C-alpha cells in the first residue's frame, strides 16, 4: 500500500511520526504561557505563526469592533509572528491608558528612525520627555501659530487650486 507515493513498509511510520510531532508542537504552542510580555489584556485564540490575522477580515475596523464586543474594551492581538498590538475600544480606557501608563507614548526606536531622524532628536521620533514637550511647544507656537498660519494662506490656496485642477482634469 502506498501513501502519498511512499512505500508503506518504510514511509508510513515516518509520516505518522511526523504528523504526531507536528500536532504535539501545535498543542504545546497553544497551551504554553507567554510570560515574555508580562500581564497582557484578554485575547482571542491565536494560531501559531499568523497569530490573530485570521480574525481580521475587511473592513478591519468592523473586525476590531467584533473582537472588542466579545473580549472587552482592551484587547491584545498578535499580528503575525512578531507584531504585537493592543486595541483600545473606548475613549475612557484610552484616556486612562495614555494618562497613567508612562511607556505607552514611546515609539519603538529602530535603526531606520535613528538614521533618518538624526538619532531621534527631532520632534516626530523623539522619546517622550522634557525635550519632546519643548519641541511640541515650539512647533505649536512657531509653526502652527496664528501669525504663521495667516502668512502661509496664499501657499495653501495655491496648493488647493492645484489639487482641484488635477482632480477636475482626471
Burial per residue of 72-111, b for 16 or more beta-carbon CB atoms within 10 angstroms, e otherwise: eebbbbbeeeeeeeebbbeeeeeeeeeeeeeeeeeeeeee
Residues of the chain with pLDDT > 70, as a percent, come to: 83
Is the Cα torsion angle 113, 115, 118, 119 positive or negative in sign? positive
Which residue do the cell numbers 498590538 mark? Answer: 85
- End-to-end alpha-carbon separation of the chain, Å? 66
Residues of the chain with pLDDT > 90, as a percent, come to: 19
Q: What is the mean pLDDT of the chain?
A: 81
49 — pLDDT class (breaks 50, 70, 90):
confident
Residue 38 has pLDDT above 80, yes or no: no
Q: State how far the Cα of 67 lies from the Cα of 31, in Å rounded to an integer.
A: 21
Residue extents of the structural domains in the chain: 1-32, 39-104, 107-170
In degrees, rounded to 5, the angle at the alpha carbon of residue 44 between the alpha carbons of residues 38 and 49 is: 80
Question: Do 76 and 41 contact (CB within 8 A), yes or no?
Answer: yes
Range with the poorest average pLDDT among 76-90, 110-124, 152-166? 110-124
84 — pLDDT class (breaks 50, 70, 90):
confident
pLDDT for position 154: 95
Range with the poorest average pLDDT among 2-16, 104-118, 154-168? 2-16
Amino acid at each position: 500500500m502506498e501513501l502519498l507515493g511512499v512505500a508503506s513498509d518504510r514511509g508510513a511510520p515516518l509520516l505518522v511520526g511526523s504528523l504526531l510531532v507536528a500536532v504535539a508542537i501545535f498543542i504545546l504552542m497553544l497551551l504554553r504561557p507567554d510570560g515574555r510580555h508580562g500581564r497582557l489584556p484578554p485575547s482571542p485564540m491565536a494560531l501559531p505563526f499568523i497569530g490573530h490575522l485570521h480574525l481580521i477580515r475587511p473592513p478591519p475596523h468592523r473586525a476590531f469592533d467584533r473582537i472588542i464586543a466579545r473580549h472587552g474594551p482592551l484587547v491584545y492581538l498578535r499580528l503575525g509572528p512578531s507584531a504585537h498590538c493592543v486595541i483600545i475600544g473606548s475613549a475612557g480606557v484610552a484616556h486612562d491608558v495614555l494618562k497613567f501608563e508612562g511607556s505607552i507614548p514611546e515609539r519603538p526606536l529602530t535603526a531606520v528612525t535613528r538614521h533618518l531622524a538624526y538619532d531621534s532628536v527631532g520632534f516626530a521620533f523623539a522619546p517622550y520627555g522634557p525635550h519632546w514637550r519643548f519641541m511640541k511647544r515650539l512647533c505649536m507656537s512657531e509653526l502652527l501659530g496664528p501669525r504663521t498660519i495667516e502668512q502661509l494662506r496664499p501657499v495653501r490656496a495655491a496648493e488647493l487650486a492645484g489639487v482641484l485642477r488635477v482632480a477636475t482634469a482626471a
